[in-house]
């Protein structure tokens, strides 16, 4: 029964989140702050992880797939498609669920236990909308950009690692990443990043918003937020892959 | 004036407030006192609307907040100022931004007008040159005063204070009490204070409501509190050796 209670509560919260804002200018200012805090500040970690993963995928493809019967440009091709289809959308979202999700859950949880949310409610502010809506819009808006940055950095990682390891030349690698390109893969992944972005912001927001207790409960909510968001991301990855590739 | 009629509230089957009725008068500091866990905070939060009550009525100058729709409740809340136990200032905003926040949200004032009002409110609570500090950079007493400044920013009709003296030294507590009393009289607002601080009871208790185990046990004012024969109230008020001694001296004076 607990799961149905949480699903119901989550949708009730979302119905409050998407109510008309009290003042658009204030919400817009919040949105800019959230884009910077949750999105721009994640670019560094996204770039670093993507460069390394691009390099690692290239090496794995080299050691596991290349044989005299296969063209070597398959390393670049494989790296590109892995990045576009799963790594830069799904795996990156799992990582963001950890970084951004725990941030959102702990921020809202702390505000709840220190009565800052109650204080907003007393003033007549729709605290759910004021605190959560800008976060959801910010993460949904920034996710496709992070996806594009991640793909680019991953390809650069492969471009550095491939030739350095002697597995593939720069020219062959570039041939690989430009061969048999399917534009739908990009559209598919961008659709996924929108859905995942919504989950990354809304699920931890729900967990944090309804925290009861003290610092210990805020920590627990933050952990739960990351775990639940990760599971939901993988579940929706499965659903979207089935729906969009059918 | 705020009137509560036969308020009852329970959590998971446990009755926390039992049939409480009271009148909190305008221009006076109305105190709710009682032991920790007696239901003071639940009563205060029920009055302001943070908790829904199961039975009873809460009337703000005759307006029943339970009959109001979402929009009407929002408008009513803009007439309410509240000072929470720990101030509940927004950590990410400076002192100035905290006090300006209700004006940013609900008024069409220009920035200059808002800043003038912010400075007026901060001066009113004796805070100067701290506009750009964050809540983490100021003392507990200052935080309470900033919270009061924020609570009066929109000229509220009703002011609620949840244990405004908790965690403060006696001198600062007296200052906060005096400030709340002055503001109540100056702006003619209905103030309800939740406290178990006996100094506050004696200094600013225009009307006092004593609750114990979720029930109303006694009602009166600060001069009546020492002559009452209510056992529960006496056990609460004269709990410390100091206050017992005080009562003995007072009784001796009265006998003479």
Chain A nearest-CA residue for B73: A124
Query: At residue A66, does pLDDT exceed 70?
Result: no
Q: Which residues in chain B have Cβ-Cβ distances shorter than 8 Å to A121?
A: 50, 77
Where exactly are the structural domains of chain B? 2-79+158-255, 90-155
Q: Do A118 and B41 meet the contact criterion of CB atoms below 8 Å apart?
A: no
Q: Which two tokens stand for residue B213?
A: 């185990």
Q: CB of B11 within 8 Å of any CB in chain A?
A: no
Q: What is the pTM of this model?
A: 0.88
Query: At residue A161, does pLDDT exceed 90?
Result: yes
Share in percent of chain A as helix, strand, coil (round to 5): 85, 0, 15
What's the pLDDT at A1? 64
Question: A7 to chain B nearest CA, in Å?
Answer: 21
Chain B nearest-CA residue for A115: B88
Query: At residue A159, does pLDDT exceed 90?
Result: yes
Q: What is the mean pLDDT of residues A196-203?
A: 97
DSSP state of A35: I
Query: At residue A88, does pLDDT exceed 90?
Result: yes
Q: Do B35 and B194 meet the contact criterion of CB atoms below 8 Å apart?
A: no
Share in percent of chain B as helix, strand, coil (round to 5): 45, 25, 35
What's the pLDDT at A110? 96
Q: What is the mean pLDDT of residues A56-74?
A: 86
Task: Report d(CA B136, CA B149) in Å as an integer.
Answer: 17
Q: CB of B86 within 8 Å of any CB in chain A?
A: yes
User: Cα–Cα–Cα angle for A151, A140, A118, nearest 5°?
Assistant: 140
Question: A149 to chain B nearest CA, in Å?
Answer: 30
Q: Which two tokens stand for residue A208?
A: 């944090």
Question: A217 to chain B nearest CA, in Å?
Answer: 19
- pLDDT tens by residue, B26-59: 999 999 998 888 889 999 999 998 898 989 999 9
Residue ranges, chain B, pLDDT below 70: none
Q: CB of B111 within 8 Å of any CB in chain A?
A: no
Q: Are strands B29-33 and B158-162 parallel, antiparallel or unpaired?
A: unpaired
3-state secondary structure of B61: coil
Where exactly are the structural domains of chain A? 2-12+24-245
Q: Are strands B14-24 and B80-83 parallel, antiparallel or unpaired?
A: unpaired
A88 CB contacts (<8 Å, ≥6 apart)? A50, A147, A150, A151, A154, A189
In percent, the amount of chain A with pLDDT more than 70 equals: 99
Length of chain A: 246
Q: CB of A175 within 8 Å of any CB in chain B?
A: no
* pLDDT category of residue A198 using cuts at 50, 70 and 90: very high
Domain spanning B2-79+158-255: CATH 3.40.50.970: no
Burial class (CB in 10 A: 0-12, 13-18, 19+), B242: exposed
**Separation in Å, CA A175 to CA A71, A72, A96, B34:** 11, 10, 31, 79
Lowest mean pLDDT among A10-14, A82-86, B2-6, B242-246: B242-246
What's the pLDDT at B158? 94
Q: Which residues in chain A have Cβ-Cβ distances shorter than 8 Å to B85?
A: 115
Do B88 and A123 count as a contact with CB atoms less than 8 A apart?
A: no
Q: Which residues in chain A have Cβ-Cβ distances shorter than 8 Å to B89?
A: 116
Q: CB of A118 within 8 Å of any CB in chain B?
A: yes
What's the pLDDT at A84? 95
- Which of A4-8, A69-73, B68-72 holds the top average pLDDT? A4-8
3-state secondary structure of B224: coil
Query: At residue A157, does pLDDT exceed 90?
Result: yes
Q: What is the mean pLDDT of residues A24-34?
A: 93
- pLDDT tens by residue, A130-143: 999 999 999 999 99
Question: A48 to chain B nearest CA, in Å?
Answer: 29
Task: Report d(CA B89, CA B101) in Å as an integer.
Answer: 10
What's the pLDDT at B255? 74
DSSP state of A21: P
């Amino acid at each position: 029964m607990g799961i149905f209670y949480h699903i119901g509560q989550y949708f009730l919260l979302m119905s409050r989140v998407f109510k008309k804002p009290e003042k658009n200018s204030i919400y817009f200012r919040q949105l800019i702050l959230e884009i910077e805090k949750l999105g721009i500040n994640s670019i560094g970690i996204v770039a670093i992880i993507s460069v390394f993963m691009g390099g690692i995928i290239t090496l794995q493809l080299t050691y596991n797939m290349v044989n005299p019967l296969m063209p070597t440009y398959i390393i670049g091709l494989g790296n590109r498609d892995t990045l576009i289809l799963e790594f830069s959308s799904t795996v990156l979202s799992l990582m963001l669920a950890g970084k951004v999700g725990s941030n959102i859950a702990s921020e809202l949880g702390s505000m709840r236990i220190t009565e800052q949310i109650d204080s907003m409610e007393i003033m007549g502010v729709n605290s759910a909308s004021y605190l959560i809506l800008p976060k959801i819009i910010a993460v949904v808006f920034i996710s496709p950009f992070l996806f594009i940055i991640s793909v680019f950095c991953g390809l650069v990682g492969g471009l550095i690692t491939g030739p350095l390891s002697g597995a593939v030349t720069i020219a062959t690698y570039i041939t690989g990443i430009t061969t048999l390109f399917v534009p739908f893969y990009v559209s598919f992944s961008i659709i996924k990043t929108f859905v995942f972005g919504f989950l990354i912001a809304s699920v931890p927001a729900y967990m944090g918003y309804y925290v009861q207790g003290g610092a210990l409960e805020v920590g627990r909510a933050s952990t739960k937020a990351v775990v639940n968001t990760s599971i939901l991301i993988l579940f929706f990855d499965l659903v979207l892959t089935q729906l969009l590739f059918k | 004036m705020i009137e509560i009629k036969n308020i009852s509230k329970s959590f998971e089957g446990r009755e926390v407030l039992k049939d409480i009725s009271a009148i909190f008068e305008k221009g006076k500091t109305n105190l709710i006192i009682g032991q920790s866990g007696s239901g003071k905070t639940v009563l205060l939060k029920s009055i302001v609307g943070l908790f829904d009550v199961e039975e009873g009525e809460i009337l703000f100058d005759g307006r029943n907040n339970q009959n109001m729709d979402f929009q009407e409740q929002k408008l009513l809340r803009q007439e309410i100022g509240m000072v929470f136990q720990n101030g509940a200032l927004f950590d990410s905003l400076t002192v100035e931004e905290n006090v300006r926040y209700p004006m940013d949200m609900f008024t069409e004032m220009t920035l200059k007008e808002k800043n003038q009002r912010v400075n007026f409110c901060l001066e009113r609570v004796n805070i100067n040159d701290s506009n750009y500090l964050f809540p983490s950079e100021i003392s507990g007493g200052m935080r309470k005063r900033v919270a009061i400044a924020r609570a009066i920013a929109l000229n509220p009709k009703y002011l609620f204070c949840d244990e405004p003296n908790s965690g403060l030294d006696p001198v600062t507590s007296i200052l906060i009490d005096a400030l709340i009393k002055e503001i109540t009289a100056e702006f003619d607002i209905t103030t309800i204070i939740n406290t178990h601080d006996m100094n506050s009871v004696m200094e600013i208790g225009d009307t006092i409501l004593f609750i114990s185990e979720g029930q109303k046990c006694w009602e009166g004012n600060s001069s009546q509190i020492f002559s009452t024969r209510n056992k529960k109230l006496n056990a609460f008020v004269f709990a410390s050796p100091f206050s017992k001694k005080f009562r003995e001296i007072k009784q001796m004076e009265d006998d003479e």
